[in-house]
Structure 1
Amino acid sequence: MRFNRRQIMNASLFSVLTTPVLQAEEKKAKKYKNIPAYFACNMESWWTDLPFMDRFKAASKAGFSAVEFWDYQDRKRNVNDIAKLCEDLNLDIIQFTAWQSPSLALSNNHKKFKDAIKRAIETALVLGAPMFTVVGHQTSSKHSQEESVKNFSKALTSVRGILEGSGKMMIIEPFNPVDHQGHFLNGSKDTVSICRSINSPNIKINWDLYHMQLTEGNLIGELRSGIDQVGYIQIADAPGRNQPGTGELNYNFIFDEIKKMKYNGYIGLECWPRNNNSEEAIRDLLASVYG
């Protein structure tokens, strides 16, 4: 096949124009290759088509270094098996849920709560997890908001000593009133106030940006004002609670601001990959990290 001068020139021009683009894409692919070690993948929301234990294998294969999950007391789950599997896969377990309910607004639940925290500490030692989440802020018709917050704070204070002696951190996760109705801790304000009043390095906040966005907005301003009480951060885009890059939040900006706040802890990916497509979710996540 013979080429005329124009074809040769056009081919050369195409090469000149596309080579930088291809090089940039290749550089971006290399840049996005590794998932930052500070991301903890949530085993309840990722790979939901797989059996629970197989999700850890999927997380490791995908390139994650750390994981989180919810109820360790599920009868189908053996913490020793989970610990062994994660050790074999070189996955760090960062946190799990120690107390979901009943409500700590009711003082008759406080002894049960204290016993549960003791068990959670023992479990955290088995799993090698530095922290665990507590909810327990379901509303009660018997108490006002003020009374509920006061009783909740008393419950947390009652376990301060055993937490500080254990070296484990208990992180409180406030919810939002939009799709998590029926709770008296929504957004950051009351939870920050509770943690500051207790003033313990072992009782902090699981700061879920999805819940914060739906409750109060002003994500960066509120996080900055409460950063001294943050023990852990969780993320998801809004609306939808899918991976960063699928909603209205600018996570590239958010991640940059978090770094400026000198937060050096883990970030939990309590988000649901859109259409259960984990590969796309990871690409979107890394694009939000690296820009």
Structure 2
Amino acid sequence: MITRRTLMHSALAATALGATSPLLAASSKRKFKLKFAPHLGQFVGHAGENIVDQLKFMADEGFTVLEDNGMMQRSVATQETIARTMQQLGMSLGVFVVAVGGNENRLFTTGHPDNRKQFAKACQEAVTVAKRVNARWMTVVPGVFERKLPIGIQTANAIDVLRAGAEVFERENLVMVLEPLADTPDLFLRTADQAYEICRAVDSPACKILFDMYHLQQNQGSIIASIDQTWSEIGYFQMGDVPGRLWPGTGEMNYGNIFKHILGKMRESGRDFIFGMEHGPWKPNKASERACIESYAALNAVL
């Protein structure tokens, strides 16, 4: 599979939880107006590699949601520990990635007769994990562009495969969110309007858009206008600044204006979202980690 994330490599290997002190009720320093969701491994400079300690640190800083892309690759014992710790801390889980396995890059666009069955099987396995960790949202990346086929044929093929997954998730009141990416031009799904078209065609409450503003800023720009155009099909947000994929305020994007706009639309529509912190710091560094946290505190103050 084409690499989607580099943020959590060290954290995914750190499944040894070790001994920890009994959990106390988190004494949050602040209350965020939006559900900002850090990842495991994002604050190891402060909290260390121990997963329970990382969750306690996040809760103490005021975060109430966790993202963990690699949840499906973790052991059952680790998944259960994460779920139990989040419950004790009053936290919930955002997205994790549906791990398909095999030649998943060609799963969506080629039209192979086994593609629907293979994806539905992966979605069923994701349902098992979602129930174990009390999750509702799962990320799906619809593979690579198939150069031998016209784009319309590839789109129809992807819709067929995604409908098979939506059938699985809809029965369980779960949602897969399709993520356009900028990691490589070989990827099939690259813009919000393309994801919107596919979600409308799949026509299921279990298939929505993961609107990652870092990727979409690079592939298309016009973030606020694009949010307005695709609003009905957006299920989840992620962010990171451009260039560098670091926290808001480190690059060219005006996240203050973007979040004000989203918050206004949320209040008008009565909808709620999680905002995944899909960015660095990439290495354990207390100063960078603190700057990251305080960037969200600063945004929170102006919302």
Structure 1 length as normaliser, TM-score?
0.81
SS in 1 for 2:235: strand
Deviation at 1:287, TM superposition (A): 1.4
Indicate the RMSD between aligned Cα atoms, in angstroms.
2.2
Query: AA paired with 2:265?
Result: M
Deviation at 1:168, TM superposition (A): 0.6
262, 266, 272: which one aligns with 2:274: 266
Say whether 1:284 aligns with 2:286.
no
Q: Is the 8 A contact 2:97 2:138 kept in 1?
A: yes
Please give the residue correspondences for 1:240-251 in structure 2 after superposition, counting only pairs within 5 Å. 240-251=244-255
Comparing 262-271 and 210-219, the one that deviates more: 262-271
Say whether 1:40 aligns with 2:37.
yes
Partner of 2:68: 69
SS in 1 for 2:68: strand
Q: Is the 8 A contact 1:220 1:254 kept in 2?
A: yes
SS in 2 for 1:272: coil
Deviation at 1:76, TM superposition (A): 5.2
Task: Spell out, residue by residue over 1:213-256, the C-alpha distance to the aligned partner (whole angstroms, 9 max, x if none).
Answer: 00000110011000000000111111111111111111111011
Cα separation, partners in 2 of 1:73 and 1:148, compared to 1, 3 Å:
same
Q: Is the 8 A contact 2:72 2:129 kept in 1?
A: no
Say whether 1:203 aligns with 2:207.
yes
What stretches of structure 2 of length at least 5 have no aligned partner?
A: 1-28
Give the distance between the partners of 1:75 and 1:83, measured in 2 at CA: 12
Deviation at 1:102, TM superposition (A): 3.3
SS in 2 for 1:175: coil
Q: Is the 8 A contact 1:72 1:96 kept in 2?
A: yes
Partner of 1:98: 98
SS in 2 for 1:69: coil
Partner of 2:127: 121
SS in 1 for 2:73: coil
Comparing 263-272 and 251-260, the one that deviates more: 263-272
Deviation at 1:94, TM superposition (A): 1.8
Please give the residue correspondences for 1:6-17 in structure 2 after superposition, counting only pairs within 5 Å. none
Please give the residue correspondences for 1:133-172 in structure 2 after superposition, counting only pairs within 5 Å. 133-172=139-178
Task: Spell out, residue by residue over 1:27-80, the C-alpha distance to the aligned partner (whole angstroms, 9 max, x if none).
Answer: xxxxx8333451111225x12564362432332232211111112232557322
Please give the residue correspondences for 1:15-34 in structure 2 after superposition, counting only pairs within 5 Å. 33-34=30-31
Cα separation, partners in 2 of 1:155 and 1:119, compared to 1, 3 Å:
same
Q: Is the 8 A contact 1:131 1:170 kept in 2?
A: yes
Task: Spell out, residue by residue over 1:146-183, the C-alpha distance to the aligned partner (whole angstroms, 9 max, x if none).
Answer: 2222211111112332222111111111112xx33320
Give the distance between the partners of 1:160 and 1:73, measured in 2 at CA: 18
What stretches of structure 1 of length at least 5 have no aligned partner?
A: 1-31
Comparing 229-238 and 63-72, the one that deviates more: 63-72
Partner of 1:51: 49
Query: AA paired with 2:105?
Result: P
Deviation at 1:265, TM superposition (A): 1.3
SS in 2 for 1:133: strand
| Percent of aligned positions that are identical | 26
Cα separation, partners in 2 of 1:52 and 1:153, compared to 1, 3 Å:
farther
Q: Is the 8 A contact 1:169 1:203 kept in 2?
A: yes
SS in 2 for 1:233: strand
Deviation at 1:140, TM superposition (A): 2.9
Give the distance between the partners of 2:217 and 2:299, measured in 1 at CA: 17
Comparing 32-41 and 247-256, the one that deviates more: 32-41
Structure 2 length as normaliser, TM-score?
0.78
Say whether 1:191 aligns with 2:195.
yes
Query: AA paired with 2:290?
Result: E
